[in-house]
Amino acid sequence: MELTALFLALLFATLRLATPLIFAAMGGFMSERSGVVNVALEGFMLSGAFVGAVVGHQFASAWMGWAAALLIGLCVGALYALFVIELKADQIISGMALNLLVMGLIPFITKILYNSTGSTPALLVEDRFRVEPLVMALLLVGVLTFWLYKTRSGLWLLFAGEHPQALLASGVSVRKVRWAAVCASGAFAAWGGASLSLFLASSYSPLMTGGRGFMALAALIFGKWKPVPAFLACLLFAFADAMQIRLQGVRIGEVEIPVQFVQILPYLVTIIALAGFIGKSRSPKALGQEGF
Amino acid sequence: MTVPAVEFKGVSKYFGEVRANSDISFSVLPGTIHAIVGENGAGKSTAMKILFGMYRADSGDILVHGKPVSFRSPIEAMTSRIGMVHQHFMLAEPFSALDNILLQQKGSAFSLLPRKEQKKRLTEIAEHYGFVLDLEANVEDLSVGEQQRVEILKILSQDSEILILDEPTAVLTPQEVQDLFRNLRHLRDEGKTILIITHKLKEVMSLTDSVTVFRAGRVVGQKKTAETSADDLAEMMVGRRLQKAQERETKVDPNQVLLRFDNVSAKMGNHAIHEIQLHVHSKEIVGIAGVEGNGQDLIIRSLLDATSLDRNSLTGQVSHEGTLGAFPEDRLRLGVLPARPVYENFILGQHKSPLFSRGLFLKGKEVISKTQEIMNTYDIRPHNPLLSFEKLSGGNQQKLVVARALSQKPQVVIAAQPTRGVDIGAIEFIHNQLRTARDEGAGVLLISSELDELMALSDRIVVIYKGRLVAEFTRSQFDEVALGKAMGCGK
Amino acid sequence: MRRLLGFVIGLVVALLLTLFAGENPWHIFLILTKSAFGSMYDLGLTLSYTTPLIFCGLSVAIAFHAGLFNIGAEGQLTMAVVTAAAVGVLFPEVPFPLAPLVGFSAALLVGAFWGWIAGWLRAYRGSHEVIITIMLNFIAAGLASWFTLKVIPNPHSQNPETALVSANYMFKDYDLIARLFPDTPANASLGFAIVFALLMWIFLWKTTWGFELRAVGSNPEAAHRAGISEKKMQMLAMALAGALAGCVALSEVLGSAGQYRMGFSPDYGFIGIAVALLANNNPLGIIAAAFLMGALHKGASDLDLETSTITRDFSRIIQALIILGVAAQGYWEWMKKKKRRKN
């Protein structure tokens, strides 16, 4: 009996913790499948988490925060697209710079808004999301899978990342497809961030993403750049995270496991996943190719 | 008098100072197969790319079915029912043939892909023209010939009337070439007009109705195929009689084996070689003939780069005497550091030789001066060792790669596709270098897909087919037909 | 030149942002320069930021020359700094000339190991070094925090920091630079940093190993065909990158603080990316670029005091915008294209 309860609790915790990862991984999916490397997911998530929390608090409505996260995600995505698609900046360098920029801008803004050093005021518990983001994350995976394999623009996305010359030859602008994909990437990842600040917690706290943007990217690679396998990889990483929370303060005999050891568990699992079982994961052929 | 399907009138095209096409004029009648022939760099691809809207002409007119056109993009050309099959296929490997064709079709972004209907329609078209093709298969699982059929079907599905094919037989086996020609004739009989860019004269003679010859950016002749001969065309193309293979003055030294493959088998992914038995002697050039992808690269790898083969798959004995000099089949990918200066490219691979380094340190001055010396003797222009490699022309690039491999007088030379993408002057130069190396005692293994080159240089030619050596010809037995047959069907 | 212009554009955009906070950008710029160079004390602090930034810039650059992106300098330096502190605390008996040497060597080794992990995973498992090094940064932070709080905490302080290393490990008495800038953490390791930059330049352009490392970065397949082991070079590059980042132990533990303090690094590892980028990965250029970024960082750290609305986090914004400004080299082509479209 107790075991079942424990199992269910762990399962639900895993799903909850997976929500931000799933959104971010689907964001990464959009961008990388279109041929644009995206290490800026972390920054996208942070901006979504922050703006979601600010607007959500302002209107005392998680949904308003959610909508605001969508907007800011599109904007940050567009900024990234501007640099990597139009200005042809190195994708990894500008991705990292964007992360840094968001990390710097958030305390800059909180200082102006709340005279604080980076946190936002908390949402009332009854205003925050219960399960909505989780449901949406699951829906997103399904919708994306269907869209990718069944619709014309899904095919465009696949070709933009695999053989952009062929897409160009058929009269579709690779640039436009990539713009759209990177903006969507920003929006999804920002929702991932917002589900941290409006669903898992009720406010923004500094650097609350804790590397989840990169884990999502790892999940995407681990999932061979396909939505459903990437989703499963997110569950794996989220499970490690859930275990981490559960294991804090657990004792083996007399010795308490240091909390720091437990906390690095998700990061370790990510490394092991990338290093160990990846097999032959083939990236989209034109990933990182510029000049269209 | 019939209106030509395509007519060029005084078309010129410049790339900066370079005149790629000057005053090109010729016409193609509807319902015919027309060959555009010429050496590499003669301007034939440029002309076709202008027709297909990839470039714009600087002057002159192009008429399609009597109406002047000026396409700003291939899309516009396609709406005027002109299609082109590029030398490098525009196909994405992990996706199905059907999806690759569907990509071409217009439709709103969020509409569902009409896979079922289109599969039916495309199958009908394919059957109508006698194509055999599995539309559901992923492109990476199709043979090169089948991939080409996907490209052609792509064009046909848009009701194109004029088809341009750029070097369509370069990568095909003789059998696949026959299939392609049958398909093309069928298309012609259905009224399509076909332009094919090629430099293989035998194919021109056997397939086409008429031919235009390009040389150095100009049209030097237009003939009905029936009224000309391969020799005539060759003379027009080159502008002088082709040299016969040079008679050699030195003799193969049969007692001194420099390179041995004894019963060698190996595997890499889907490719494999089986029981390769081959010895190369001093003062001998042994050619390996074969359509690309039949295991040539595995033979090279078994010698130069055994670790890249599948683990434990290499059996038998590979050995060589003395030093080894090699130039790879794909120089930009495998041979050089394109963005780095010439001198760094020159020492790459021999940077640890005492000529260029002392202990851990490079001899900076010697590196530069030796590179300068080589650039002067091999006339690699411009004679500047500090220039970045990618700034050199294709011929000069390859000369450097050859110079690097031969400068240390290796006993064994591995020459893979030594003249690919290289102008005529450089070809002669490289061939003479190989002959010199041979005369000085080296054993040379020559891997080439150009039969002419193999027959001009080799003392012996072995034919590789599906990973096996299936035939061997000595110099007196060289015969294009027999060689071609062995390359294509293993016997 | 374009890089410098990119730098200026980034800085100007960052300063313009202060308008939103109701500040005068010119005023902010003056604060930045004054607090970076205003006095010997300020200059000393600037130089104390410059030193680790040189190390981290070199770290990023050497990986880059091998075609790898080292985002893990932060983790590598953390591991190295903790190691140096640990050695100094746990083996207090080692006599002076030997002690700093031992501490430094241990730090180098651990830093190199931490970098090598990513190199090995890349070479033999094909794992992307960017994600791996980021994960290793988090793990390093976790391990460092455990070691600091649980194993060798400072018994005399509530701050999250290790105990002080034995005095034998410090080279303060012989430190001319430290004497020049009293009361600042500036120390002789600046000299070491400059020497290391020179050594790296010699290594990259004058040795066969350096040549091989750059060949792998330029075209791994061709390098492989030329008999160069790209696996070996990738591991070497990442190990050297780790060791260079680990040199921060020299300036932080052995040269000034004598302990590891959690949060001592304002993300030197990340600023190192900006430094390397600004210098186009040239080791000698990195010295200048590190000084520039060090000055900006020092300048920004006084914004807390000098203004009411802008915090030291502003330096991150400046860094990010400078990186973007420098990275967006396609800007010029883009402008030309726009012009052409208009015409």
What digits encode the pLDDT tens for the residues A212-231? 999 999 899 889 899 999 99
* Pairwise CA distance, residues B192 & B150, whole Å: 17
Task: Return the pLDDT at C44.
Answer: 92
Share of chain C above pLDDT 70, in %: 96
What is the predicted pLDDT for the residue at B241? 44
- Supply the pLDDT for residue A1: 59
Instruction: Check pLDDT > 90 for residue B478.
Output: no
- Domain assignment present for A262: no
Query: Which of A89, A107, A118 has its CB closest to that of C324?
Result: A89
Query: What does pTM read for this prediction?
Result: 0.87
Domain assignment present for A135 = yes
The pLDDT of B127-145, averaged and rounded, is 87
| C neighbour chains, 3+ CB pairs within 8 Å | A, B
CA distances from A132 to A63, B50, C230 (A): 10, 56, 49
- C140 → chain A, closest CA residue: A264
Q: Is there a contact between C243 and C63 (Cβ–Cβ < 8 Å)?
A: no
Q: Of B101, B96, B107, B104, which Cα lies nearest the Cα of B137?
A: B96
Does the pLDDT of residue B242 top 50, yes or no?
A: no
How far apart (Å, rounded) are the C-alpha atoms in residues B285 and B434?
A: 9
Q: C15-29 pLDDT, tens per residue?
A: 999 998 888 999 999
In the predicted structure, residue B247 carries a pLDDT above the cut 50: yes
Say if A210 falls within a structural domain: yes
- Those residues whose C-beta lies under 8 Å from the C-beta of residue B431, and which sit 6 or more positions away, are B418, B419, B453, B456, B457
Flag the least confident range among B194-198, B225-229, B246-250, B355-359. B246-250
Pick from B335, B339, B361: which is nearest to C207 by CB?
B361
Nearest to C309 among A99, A112, A117 (CB): A112
B402-412 per-position pLDDT tens digit: 888 888 889 99
Measure the CA–CA gap between B440 and B410, rounded to whole angstroms. Answer: 10
Segments of chain A scoring below 50 in pLDDT:
none
Query: Radius of gyration of chain B from Cα atoms?
Result: 25
User: What is chain A's percent helix, strand, coil content, to nearest 5?
Assistant: 75, 0, 25
- In chain C the domains, ranked by start, together with CATH numbers, are 2-12+41-330 (1.10.3470)
Domain range B6-238, its CATH number among 3.40.50.300, 3.30.505.50, 3.40.50.1980, 3.10.180.10: 3.40.50.300
DSSP C207: B
Domain B253-489 superfamily per CATH = P-loop containing nucleotide triphosphate hydrolases (3.40.50.300)
Q: Per the domain annotation, does A191 fall within a domain?
A: yes
Let me know if residue A260 belongs to a domain.
no
B485 pLDDT more than 80? no
Mean pLDDT of B286-307: 86
Q: Find the mean pLDDT for residues B263-271.
A: 86
Are the Cβ atoms of B99 and A156 closer than 8 angstroms?
A: no
Domain boundaries, chain B: 6-238, 253-489
Which amino acid belongs to residue B207?
A: L
Residue A184 lies in a domain: yes
In this complex, do C329 and A88 lie within 8 Å of one another by their Cβ atoms? yes
Tokens 């009996």 locate to: A1
- Cα–Cα–Cα angle for C39, C42, C47, rounded to 5 degrees: 125
Residue C124 and residue B153: Cα distance in Å, rounded? 42
**Total structural domains within chain A:** 1
Whether residue B19 has pLDDT greater than 90? no
The domain in which residue A123 lies consists of 21-217
User: Which chain A residues are within 8 Å of B113, Cβ to Cβ?
Assistant: 150-152, 154-155
Do the chains contact at A88 and C139, CB–CB below 8 Å?
Answer: no
More confident residue, B357 or A249: B357
Q: Could you tell me if residue A227 is inside a domain? A: no
pLDDT at A222: 87
Is residue A10 one of the residues assigned to a domain?
no
Higher pLDDT pick, B459 / B238: B459
- The mean of the pLDDT values for chain B is 87
Measured between beta carbons, the chain B residues lying within 8 angstroms of C201 are: none
Q: Which residues on chain B are in Cβ contact (under 8 Å) with C223?
A: 337, 348
CA of B104: which chain A residue's CA is closest? A170
* Cα end-to-end distance, chain C, whole Å: 28
Q: From the candidates C317, C332, C338, which should be mutated to test the interface with A, based on the most A CB atoms within 10 A?
A: C317
